[in-house]
Chain A
Amino acid sequence: MQRRRFLRNLSYAAGSTFVLNNLPFSTVSSAAPLSQLAATSTNDRVLVLIQLHGGNDGLNTIIPIDQYAEYYQLRPNLAIPDKGKRKYIPIDSGLPDANQLGFHPDLTHMKDLYDHGKLNIVQNVAYENSNGSHFRSRDIWFMGGDYDEFLPSGWMGRYLDHIFPGYPESYPNTTMPDPLAIEIGNGVSLAFHRSNGIPVAISISNPEQFYDLINSVGGEPPESIANTHYGKELKWIMDIEEKSNQYAGRLKDVYDAGANSPNVTYPELYPFNAPPGRIRNTLAPQLKMIARLLSGGVKTKIFIARLGGFDTHAEQVESYDATMGTHSALLYHISSAMKAFQDDLKSLGLEDRVMSMTFSEFGRRAFSNGSYGSDHGTAAPMFIFGKMVNPGVLGENPDLSNLDNGNLPVKFDYRQVFTSALVDWLEADTAAVEATLFSDWVDRRLPLVGNGITGLKEEFLKKRNFLTECYPNPVSNQTTFSFRLSSPGKVRLEILDMQGRVVKTILNTNSEAGNFTIPAELGTLNSGTYIYRISSNSLNTSNKLVKL
């Protein structure tokens, strides 16, 4: 049943020579009945959405280095510096010069994920005629409609309603014993609403307490309900109560059966200066709970976690240091929590099953306001995390000299991203996409999902981290080592004999990312064959050299 995934990714694999079960894929793609089968199957993949509540300032999250002067001029009181200890972190020297980007200095964990091919950044996402209202814009992202559409249901609700027909009456059942979706916290977003009836998600904050609580209250429900306004509300309450009763025990069992990896510590606090209310990492415990539920075997398809505080009209940064304050703390929380989450999933053997993405109702105005803050804007980046993502950056840097009313021009519609997740990750078939009302976006999908099959990720990593053969080789006295690193940190370059003993250390230092050529004098080595080995954050490899 997994074959459908391969079919879908044909376009990304074009030009490659991979074969599936020793069959060239032309054979596979002609096997029409496969897609029929796949349509009724559900895979075990999970989508985690992280809502950045309030409108995240994309320009201070990823800084367009190529236009640093313009960037600085637009927001001198917010700008992340280009020098000093807390300068931006260049993301990827493998990107074209015109699209060079820097991470906020508190996104070190995200840089690490990027370097390991577990992060995709989609630039400038919003929708046509972006709405400056938090509430309306949030509704648009959740409902999955146009700027002028008003739908009473959300895209996740429509999707899950389609693939799990008969909700809520026929659920839980043996194939789907769990809530279709879980929203961490104390409410259910429009995203999970169906056209009629209770939403497909339930919200919980702690499965154990939830179980005890549910079991301590309640009585018999009424048997008959009038078809009146009163009756409709009564039914709503009863349906939620019934689902709560049904899921409480199961979620407790799953939670108890699961465990987080003992080797992973989720972050708790922002280590620098920010207002007291922003120091604590409130995203990390949510992700930790999701990982534990997954390790316990929960079959829930979609999770939403939420981090609030992004509506930074004032005091987005500390007046004395633009790299600290509210926004920095929030970015640190995302970055450090996502790293812990990925590490946890990896350690639990769940990394292949989970893809996560951030979204926010809008970005913020390109120019700052006078209160060390920024007003509502339009486009902003989205971050897609996971082992199976197609790593890299999609889209170009915003053109800061061609703003649209002070706002970043929109390049991608948010539904392109969501539809890609739906089709290429959750493997929604045509009917499911239609039911989600995303048919118009199928042909405009973005290559977000790599699946680890097509080698795109290896290619990504190879392009950014490599050790070339030293020149000349064989070596008489002198040779030059060349390598490229995508991530800064400790680097060691050593020469070992064939017994594995280090006979010479060429380099042992802290290094920036970039291209390096290191000339070396090997005159003192005896003739023979040696290994030269590089150890670093993002590159660990070795090669042979011959000393004449």
Chain B
Amino acid sequence: MASLQPIDPSAPLGRKNAAHLLRRTTFGPSRADIDTFTNLSITQALNTLFNEFPPADPPLDLQTGASWVNPKPTLANSEEGDLMNMTFAWWLELMRLSNNSIIDRMAWFFHTHFATISSRPNNGTAIYYQIKLFRHYAMGNFKELSKKICYDNAMLVNLDGRLNDIGRPNENFAREFFELHTIGKGQPAGPNDYTTFTEADVIESSKVLSGYNVDWDFGNIDQDTGVAMGILRGSGDIASNHDASVKTFSPRFQNTVIQPNALVGDKATKEAALDELDQLVTMIFNQEATARNICRRLYRFFVYYNITEEIEQDIIGPLAQTFMLADYELRPVLEQLFRSTHFYDNDNGIVTDDNRGAIIKSPMEIVLGAMRFFKISIPDQQSDLAGFYAAWFNVIFEKFRNQGLDFYEPYDVSGYDGYFQEPAYNRNWITPNNLARRYQISSDLLIGYKDENDNLLYRLDILSYCQSEGIDLNSPQAIVTYFVTNLFPEAITTERFDYFKSTLLIDVAEADWVAAVINVEDFQVVFHLENLINAMIQSPEYQLF
């Protein structure tokens, strides 16, 4: 059976487990990162991953060279759409530089889970604050985050929460809050009943969620997070557009009744409306189904997409218990998972159910992973802000998009298919077009990207990389071994190894390597190394992590 039994808390992780842990909890390790973690115990490794991270400085506007989020852009700033793209670049740079911290990996998880289609708010400030909210809760409390997301400015636009008022309900957000964000849909049990919630609950909860509006002035700073939040409509203390009636939920929620605890006339006070939201979130998170649903999402994101009955029983169930006992703090549940023998396939004698290397990379892991592994640098935003943005915009609008990831612009509010769509989940990343585009990334990186003035903005300089890593260039065997062990998640056969070696040697006999390649010009060496890197990145093996 699968088991959450922890591995030895103080023994060194060893190379294979270290690499696995880093691949799943960051956007991909470098060789040095793997080496460092190899000698750490799981306790030390988790302390590093969960190390508190200082809050990031806000993004800079290319037009002014300064931040625009204090609190909002002025006429001197770039247009909203551009500010939004700058916010994406800013976040991607944080991911690229997040070292061995889990923070942006979790923030990305939250984005895939509470997916916002950014063109809906089309507002750089709102998106900035949403990312800030995600980063704030990266190692925090999922339930708290879920509550905040209900009146996050970007989300209020994304799912029409801002249009949901007394007398003119809009169910869009309420439905997706149940289905996508929290408890999830259960087995259909009959008309309008999805086991975990009912259509009547959607209607009642949209009443609880009524009366909020976007604060385009971004002046309502949340005390807990420092994030600018949406507001309740109304003047003074009165939530004028909030439905103050008594809301009664179905037996699926134990017939819970939610109503304002303070009324002025027939209106709830704003405090009372927020208290109702608290009650709604508490009601939903009191259900075990909610804990299970979130744990399944975490499992699919960090471990493997196929949740069998055995996994549901042995892994999801216990994780959900931990989650509920910790009142939805994320760290205990994540630590339990990352410490588990199951995570490292030490929980049973069966090797076929090893989940290492069994997730298909998203374009994020393909591109960011390569950047981090090969230490590809992007122009520094302090000294070359234009170059910095041009480089990232190229990644976002050429690389990601061509590979099937429209960054922060999923086709649907359910998020990107790769994280969501049954039955294939991560396999959805692989279509003929996308796969070819993923393969193309190696030559793209090796050729590099230049701006319109011919300034090189990023490039994989493979010879410098090999030299800085101290790879013995005189030995084809050593070169191939280095990349096979560090780039691929699983060992390969001797025949396969020889194939990759042949792509390095091309038509040179191994015995002649030094004389025919190394002792000639650098470009000869580069030519051979690039051929190897192309073959390795354009392989099915590199698609997995």
Contacts and interface: CB of A to CB of B under 8 A. Distances in A.
A233 B170 contact: no
Interface stretch (B183-191, B323-331, B370-378): B183-191
A230 B431 contact: no
A237 B202 contact: no
A204 B538 CA distance: 20
Contact of A376 (B164, B175, B490, B538): B175
Nearest to A139: B422
Nearest to A368: B168
Contacts of A222: 492-493, 496, 539-541
A229 to B, nearest CB: 4
A234 B431 contact: no
Interface in A490-516: none
B440 A224 contact: no
B431 A202 contact: yes
B544 A230 contact: yes
A363 B32 CA distance: 55
Nearest to B401: A186
A375 B170 contact: yes
A193 B540 contact: no
B98 interface: no
A219 interface: yes
Given A188-B431, A213-B436, A313 B160 contact: yes
Contact of B428 (A53, A147, A187, A370): A187
Given A186-B434, A229-B352, A248-B432, A219 B503 contact: yes
Given A132-B202, A203-B431, A370 B163 contact: yes
A131 to B, nearest CB: 6
Nearest to A203: B431
Nearest to A222: B496
A211 to B, nearest CB: 10
A131 B172 contact: no
A186 B433 contact: yes
Contacts of A131: 185, 188, 194
Nearest to B179: A133
Contacts of B202: 132
Interface stretch (A16-24, A239-247, A469-477, A480-488): A239-247
B160 A187 contact: no
Contacts of A523: none
A152 interface: yes
Contact of B431 (A186, A226, A373, A405): A186
Nearest to A241: B435
A528 interface: no
A369 interface: yes
A220 interface: yes
B417 interface: yes
B540 A135 contact: no
B419 to A, nearest CB: 12
Contacts of B199: 132, 405
Contacts of B194: 131, 133
A214 interface: yes
B411 interface: yes
Nearest to A77: B168
Nearest to B188: A148
A134 interface: yes
B424 A193 contact: yes
A437 to B, nearest CB: 16
A308 B421 CA distance: 17
B259 interface: no
B87 interface: no
Interface stretch (B314-322, B355-363, B472-480): B355-363
Contact of A229 (B188, B304, B435, B534): B304
Contact of A230 (B168, B188, B356): B356
Given A133-B179, A222-B540, A223-B495, A314 B163 contact: yes
B526 to A, nearest CB: 19
A230 B172 contact: no
Given A147-B188, A220-B499, A240 B423 contact: no
Given A221-B540, A233-B358, A370-B169, A244 B436 contact: yes
Interface residues of A, number: 63
Contacts of B125: none
B235 to A, nearest CB: 20
B432 to A, nearest CB: 4
Contacts of B544: 230, 233-234, 237
Interface in B425-465: 426-428, 430-437, 439-440, 443
Contacts of B170: 313-314, 369-371, 373, 375
Nearest to A189: B421
Given A216-B436, A241-B540, A313-B171, A228 B354 contact: yes
Interface string A53-78: 10000000000000000000000000
B167 interface: yes
A63 B173 CA distance: 28
Contacts of A229: 304, 306, 352-355, 357-358
Interface in B486-545: 489-490, 492-493, 495-496, 499, 503, 534-535, 538-541, 543-544
Contact of A134 (B412, B430, B492): B412
A238 B179 CA distance: 34
B414 A371 contact: no
Nearest to B543: A237
Nearest to B406: A186
A371 B168 contact: yes
A210 B432 contact: yes
A240 B493 contact: no
Contacts of A218: 436, 439, 538
Contact of A228 (B191, B358, B412): B358
Interface string A147-158: 110001000000
Contact of B420 (A135, A148, A224): A135
A277 interface: yes
A139 B414 CA distance: 13
A371 B167 CA distance: 11
A236 B175 CA distance: 34
B165 interface: yes
Nearest to B492: A222
B56 interface: no
B29 interface: no
B119 interface: yes
Contact of A205 (B175, B420, B433, B539): B433
B306 to A, nearest CB: 8
B351 interface: yes
Contacts of B167: 370
B423 A152 contact: yes
Identify which of B189, B191, B354, B540 gathers the most chain A CB atoms within 10 Å of its CB: B540
Contact of A371 (B163, B304, B540): B163
B63 interface: no
A122 B163 CA distance: 33
Interface string A299-326: 0000000001001011000000000000
A116 to B, nearest CB: 35
Contacts of A132: 175, 192, 199, 202
Contacts of B427: 233, 236
27 contacts: A53-B411, A53-B412, A131-B185, A131-B194, A135-B412, A186-B434, A187-B404, A187-B428, A190-B423, A193-B423, A199-B424, A217-B436, A219-B539, A222-B492, A222-B540, A224-B495, A229-B357, A233-B357, A237-B435, A238-B540, A241-B432, A244-B435, A244-B436, A369-B168, A369-B171, A371-B170, A405-B199
5 smallest CB-CB distances across A and B, nearest first, come from: A370-B168, A244-B432, A229-B358, A217-B439, A371-B163
Interface of A: 53, 129, 131-136, 139, 147-148, 152, 186-188, 190, 193, 199, 202-205, 210, 213-214, 216-224, 226-230, 232-234, 236-238, 240-241, 243-244, 247-248, 277, 308, 311, 313-314, 369-371, 373, 375-376, 405
Given A313-B171, A371-B160, 10 more contacts: A53-B411, A131-B188, A187-B428, A213-B437, A214-B436, A218-B436, A222-B540, A228-B358, A229-B358, A241-B540
